[in-house]
Amino acid sequence: MTDRIFNFSAGPAVLPEPVLRKAQEAIWNVAGSGIGIMEHSHRGKVFDKILVEAEASCRALADIPDDYAVLFLQGGASLQFSMVPMNFLPPDRTADYLNTGVWSQKAIKEAKLLGRTVHVACSSEATNFDRIPKPDEIAYSSAPAYAHLTTNNTIYGTQWKTEPAVPAGVALIADTSSDMYSRPIDVRKYAMIYAGAQKNLGPSGTVLVIIRKDLAETGPKTLPTMLQYRTFVAERSLYNTPPTLGIYLVGEVFKWIQSQGGLAAMAEHNASKAKALYDYIDASDFFRGTVQPDSRSLMNVCFRAPTEELEAKFITEATKRGLDGLKGHRSVGGMRASIYNACPRAAVEALVAFMKEFELANRSASAARV
């Protein structure tokens, strides 16, 4: 295909080609109904089937138990930063946050804005979040209302390899926006999981929330209706008009993941893509990774070149070659290749080939560094 380029954007990000092709048709006429997906009532049979199937595929992928609700909400992952403490952090309690970067900090900020008490259980801020804290660095408060985790740190390229231990009975709540369904996930370890769709699951405007139903019931009933989880549990995400197109697309992405062999196959595919990049970075004395090796993300690969001038040149030349979205976040600098589920192996191979070529052509310019 010549009219598409390789997209390494951190988000919104690349979506699977078969999903986009099918969606093109569904926008015109979905399921032979003679009406496009965006034009169907959310109360009608056609959309209801789409919603039921999206939820069923989501459940099947991670074997989600019946005592959890699967919700499709709006407001981005960022609204969850507020809804979580509004619902689950009473004024006389403390919530523990594991601070691994900007998204964790934004979650902390929203809890504090509500006047709630936050305890930072661990932080890698001292080294600009270049690593995931070690188990013995985590110090929880005595009886936290919940512990909050960011599973993958999109900006820095770090990722928790497994869930940190939490004290018995403490609800673990995770922002999985940038690695949801990139690998198997044991939902039972969490009280709640949320993910903005636009990194790994679909378009922006839809947020996947997986929440234990008994937890959803504990929020104050005095909150605005739209900010209570129980509203959406009771109404199957249909209290108000849900993001219908987004739910259709997320459902199709779930089906695509199933067709690829499910989460274990995704994990294998993602690990092999990331390995190709990290192996090259490690072998190179021109490029260097910015993250401590045991904390490396399989989703966002951050790396630098010897000088900022060479980095600017790399990004410009890469874009000309049809390798887009490689500029790193301003708080890290350098380059970031986001290689989510839908990023094909060929994209990573093209990037590694370009890196080799660039290194060879520019090595002398960097000799001063060594």
Ligand X SMILES: *Cc1c(COP(=O)(O)O)cnc(C)c1O
Binding site for ligand X (CB under 6 A): 11, 76-78, 103, 150, 154, 175, 177-178, 196, 199
Burial code (b: 16+ CB inside 10 Å, e: under 16) for 161-175 equals eeebebeeebbbbbb
Least gap, CB of 149 to ligand X (angstroms): 10
By beta-carbon proximity to ligand X, the closer residue of 11 and 243 is 11
Is 275 among the catalytic positions?
no
Quick one: angle between helices 345-362 and 308-320, nearest 10? 130
Helix (DSSP H) and strand (DSSP E) numbers for the chain: 10, 14
- Is 175 tagged catalytic? yes
Closest contact distance (angstroms) between CB of 360 and ligand X is 34
Residue 356 designated active-site:
no
Closest C-alpha among 227, 232, 265, 231 to residue 247: 232
Q: Shortest Cβ distance from residue 27 to ligand X (Å)?
A: 23
Nearer residue to ligand X within complex by CB, 110 or 252: 110
87 versus 362: smaller Cβ distance to ligand X: 87
Residue 150 vs 228, nearer CB to ligand X = 150
Residue (of 210, 231, 196) closest to 340 by Cα position? 196
Q: Report in angstroms how near the CB of residue 165 gets to ligand X at its nearest.
A: 21
What letter would DSSP give residue 170?
A: P
Amino acid identity of residue 70, one-letter, is V
Could you tell me the smallest distance in angstroms from the CB atom of residue 188 to ligand X?
22
- Identity of the residue, 78 or 319, whose beta carbon is nearer to ligand X in the bound complex: 78
- Please tell me which residue in 96, 175, 179, 255 is annotated as part of the active site: 175
From the list 130, 160, 199, 273, the catalytic residue is 199
Q: Among residues 30 and 249, whose Cβ is nearest to ligand X?
A: 249
User: What own/partner pairs with CB < 8 Å and gap ≥ 24 does 331-335 have?
Assistant: 331/102, 331/128, 331/155, 331/156, 332/128, 332/155, 332/156, 332/157, 332/290, 332/302, 333/304, 333/308, 334/290, 334/302, 334/303, 334/304, 334/305, 335/302, 335/303, 335/304, 335/305, 335/311
Contact partners, residue 359, CB within 8 Å, separation at least 6: 284, 286, 287
What type of residue is 195?
A
Torsion of CA 364, 368, 369, 370, to 10 degrees: 80
Which residues belong to the active site? 103, 175, 199
